[in-house]
Structure 1
């Protein structure tokens, strides 16, 4: 058996009794199929040649009875095969979904969603179809050839020898085409995954596509990928176009040889006519499934290619896991970073970060885009691991913490919040599904979200559209903030969590957070100095290094990067104040902070 099936055997091994039962029923079904040539032989020899017309009704009844029994066994064989394939696919689908939920951020950074969905749907179904029907088809072909050759040998050894000489030729043709088809179908699967990725990406970014009038560009990109998928299918078709003529030639050659040898034997009275007719019937009984050999090979090669793509997901290492004897103590929120370095591939994102944050302190991070701010805070819940150095929480390396316990105590509000297609209540209570309505309302009030939620027609029972459609960016951010606050974490991370709200709403959220952040270690990433100036510590990060640290007033006095960013942000504000005052610009250093 191919390596892909051997490596996936753990999923179908528990259900092998169903496959064995299906095979047993298949043996009976195949054997009953050979009753027809034998009855046909009796009809020709006894009724047509021997004129024993009285036996005809009994022979016809025997044919009908064999058909009925064969139908019953065939139903059982199809059903048990379907159970075998479907139960295996169920476990495989569950394992894939479990693996996806355990994978790291870095793994998702490198994979396309559309290609992943193609593996979980089209590839999984191709594998299931082969287990449910493809294996039986191949075994059935082998049984038909084996039973038929035995019956042929019993009827006439010389004719059986003729057919036996053709079998290796057919086998060689099958192996020859299978090797080429496997590569072709793997390319088809990969092309389909790329095509699906492009479609999924365009649908998710349709507003951006339309806002930049790039519909034609996206259509051209899709056409290119569609052409590649078409070419992949045509490559496989070009192999198929040779398979069927080759099998047809070999099969017709067998018929000609049987007629020549069998006709000579009948003419010389070494074989009865009925035996020759039965022999030809058996030959057609063999040739019909052999003509479908291409279809069976198609299923086989597609299942192998699909299995390989599924294994790429199942066998992908999970870089971040809960260690043996993991720590689960209550978390106070004391954070210490010691000589932390983080590399993404060959790029160094953070370099020699050293920092200590006491429980209950508020730390703010400021820096240009791409400076490493988000990477730094993502180390606390172990979304990523350090390349070297240590991240300690309450004196213990985060790699020693139980992963679930760590992340339940470290809540993150991302810059681009994600909402599920369910009610607002369920979105806020996602981290605490046992929360009461009053607890959810309290979290919403702290996040300055209660007012707009209660104005909705169904309030907290309002169903949010896909990816939060129907809500503004600021509303989605406030719901995400309420979700984090409801979890009551020891460490709260706000990754530019108020970037999509207006100044007035941001002020309301900041006022509400003053109470929330008391006694809780809080990390704030923001581009507005007004958001972070009250922090106990402000870190200015540039190119992966902490270049400045201190309080708001201390950093202003240093005339460094923080002061330059401050001046840029408040320059337009001062100009506005000057215009309001009648054109007299404020003096240098006259910022009100």
Structure 2
């Protein structure tokens, strides 16, 4: 974390100068207060500040000739001048430290977010969104408060304590030694209570992160929660972690309360003892009234500084707990990243070779893929079919390197995908998933996400090709319509067509369609399928489908089960065999007369309508 402060060292230095200046000037006040009381109660005794006050008196006489100065006027004038300078320095200290703190924390948030986006999908599969949100928001905010507010005040108190102690020794070294004898007791208290506060602070942040994760999940799935009437269950889940957080926070508050109580008892007990001892010194004639007032003021300031430092010590321990969680994220290394010898992409033709690929998900023992070999030439459409859990989605997740193969290789244009730069590889792959992800912006923004520098005409053409233009222009705000979080304001079919428009705008050489038309009604499905036909032209395409009517025109159909390829061929070839494909086909179309299938196929020149398959399902 120290690297974030390096660019702001000049600001820190200037702020420290203002801090030292303001703190040093503040240390002068007890001297003048003592002098003031000495002038009132012992006017016949010379003050230690008499030479300085004489200079100030001379200046006042020149500025205000004829004015009769009282003994207190030079003291007041000097204090006023010091106050003006101190105010300017205090402003500089406060502004500069807040400026540095805000900039530093913004840098941390920005880099932490960038680092999170660089991590692989395995990391996010093992973390909940609310937990990560809590770390970026709550934990970094805790660091921000310490940097922008507490650090400046703590440094000021250090100056007050150091300078005040020096003045105490200057006034009477014996009394100063008595006061400093309290410090070992305070140090032991710091060490004893500090560990407890740090430990509990970390547990508080962990419990809050869990509660935030539950909150995020519940809000995201509010329709599911309400449809199952699980509000009491979710409230109980949330309250469990809030209660744990409360318990740890109360334990931390107890530790801090005991810590502060111990500090107050030691400091004020010591102050009472000093008052008794110094009062006897005055009565014995070993201290003047001026020295006594100065010493008591400095003793109060030093004690107050120690007490304040004790409070900030507890707060910094809380910050350490939060910063550890942030550092833990920074220290997490992505499992999927560019190799040192990764080369930029050349123009991609779209040749994809899957060579004896085996893959097992992290933390599992059962392989998800077991010796898959497929070659997809440029422009071919490869359909992946099979029962759920066959490994279809796993296979296409390896192509853009969401995961890396356990053994074997996947090559694009003859080069292992692990030798590509990730950004180049993924920029040549377009994915239209079954569960569409839209961002909470406008329709235009979501389509333009496929090509950030796209012109409005390009965005509109992509929407027209995806048959989304008509319903978009039907909205009052058109392309500037807000889609809501995750596109909640749109229907499933509308979301899917926007996702297809986004992929069309990206114009990739390799296309992955994962049940891309599953959310569409029959009419929209026809239009979108035609748009996809145009999109697939000349591109290497992988189509995952459970409904076999969507894959009959594929160049080649690959039937998978249990992570293996059990059949491969064209639709007609596979129907001619007594294999799994034919069984799946008969299961889906067993109640559909053959003449309907033929008529539908003839109407489109290919596969029957998906709606037919949908109604045919048992």
**Shorter-normalised TM-score: what interval?**
over 0.9
Question: How much does 1:360 deviate?
Answer: 0.7
**Deviations 1:79-131 (Å, cap 9, x if unpaired)?**
11112211211221221121122222222111111111111122112212222
Confirm or deny that 1:459 pairs with 2:452.
Answer: no
- Partner of 1:251 in structure 2? 267
How much has 1:272 moved relative to structure 2?
Answer: 0.9
In structure 1, C-alpha distance between the alignment counterparts of 2:293 and 2:478, rounded to whole Å: 80
1:372-383 to 2 correspondences below 5 Å: 372-383=391-402
**Are residue 316 (structure 1) and residue 332 (structure 2) matched?**
yes
Please, which moves more after superposition, 494-503 or 128-137?
A: 128-137
Deviation per CA, 1:296-316: give whole Å up to 9, x if none. 013311221222111122221
Gapped runs of 5+ residues in structure 2?
A: 46-68, 597-612
Say if 2:581 is the partner of 1:562: yes
Which residue of the partner structure matches residue 27 of structure 1?
20
Per-residue displacement from partner, 1:247-300 (whole Å, max 9, x unpaired)? 011112211221222122111101112211221111111222222234301331
Residue 289 of structure 1 pairs with residue 305 of structure 2: yes
SS of residue paired to 1:55: coil
1:339 matched to which residue of 2? 356
**Normalised TM-score (structure 1):** 0.92
Q: Is the 8 A contact 1:327 1:400 kept in 2?
A: no
* Residue 151 (structure 2) aligns with: 135
Contact 1:411 1:484 in 2 (8 A): yes
Offset of residue 495 of structure 1? 1.0
Per-residue deviation at 1:363?
0.7
State the match for 1:212 in structure 2.
228
Matches within 5 A, 1:536-547: 536-547=555-566
Offset at residue 472 of structure 1 (A): 0.7
Say if 2:527 is the partner of 1:508: yes
Distance 1:54 1:532, change over 3 A: same
Is the 8 Å Cα contact of residues 162 and 257 (structure 1) preserved in structure 2? no
CA contact (8 A) 2:260 2:311 kept: no
Residues 267 and 89 (structure 1), Cα distance of their counterparts in 2 relative to 1, 3 Å cut? same
1:200 and 2:199 aligned = no
Matched, 1:398 2:391: no
1:302 has 2:295 as partner: no
Ranges in structure 1 where 5+ consecutive residues have no aligned partner = 1-7, 578-590
| Matched length | 573
- In structure 2, what is the Cα distance between the partners aligned to 1:59 and 1:575? 110
Deviation (angstroms), 1:557: 2.7
1:470 aligns with 2:489: yes
Q: Is the 8 A contact 2:383 2:558 kept in 1?
A: yes
Correspondent of 2:436 among 417, 427, 431: 417
> Do the aligned partners of residues 513 and 40 (structure 1) sit closer, same or farther apart at CA in structure 2, a change above 3 Å counting?
closer
Cα separation, 2, equivalents of 1:446 and 1:459: 17
TM-score, normalised on structure 2? 0.88
Q: How far has the Cα of 1:340 moved from its partner? A: 0.9
Superposed displacement of residue 391, structure 1: 0.3
Distance 1:271 1:201, change over 3 A: same
Tell me the distance in 2 between the aligned counterparts of 1:245 and 1:238.
Answer: 10
Q: 2:131·2:213 contact (CA, 8 Å) conserved in 1?
A: yes
Is the CA contact (8 Å cut-off) linking 1:494 and 1:525 kept in structure 2?
Answer: yes
Would the aligned equivalents of 1:16 and 1:84 in 2 still touch at CA under 8 Å? no
Q: Cα distance, 1:575 vs. partner?
A: 12
* Cα distance change of structure 1 residues 244 and 549 upon mapping to structure 2, 3 Å threshold: same
Contact 2:23 2:160 in 1 (8 A): yes
3-state DSSP of counterpart to 2:157: helix
Question: After alignment, is 528-537 or 61-70 more displaced?
Answer: 61-70
User: What is the SS of the residue equivalent to 2:360?
Assistant: strand
Question: Per-residue deviation at 1:325?
Answer: 4.5
* Structure 1 residue 242 corresponds to structure 2 residue 261: no
Structure 1 residue aligned with 2:403: 384
- Which residue number in structure 2 is paired with residue 149 of structure 1? 165
* CA distance in 2: counterparts of 1:516 and 1:25, whole angstroms: 65
- Alpha-carbon shift at residue 450 of structure 1 (Å): 2.8
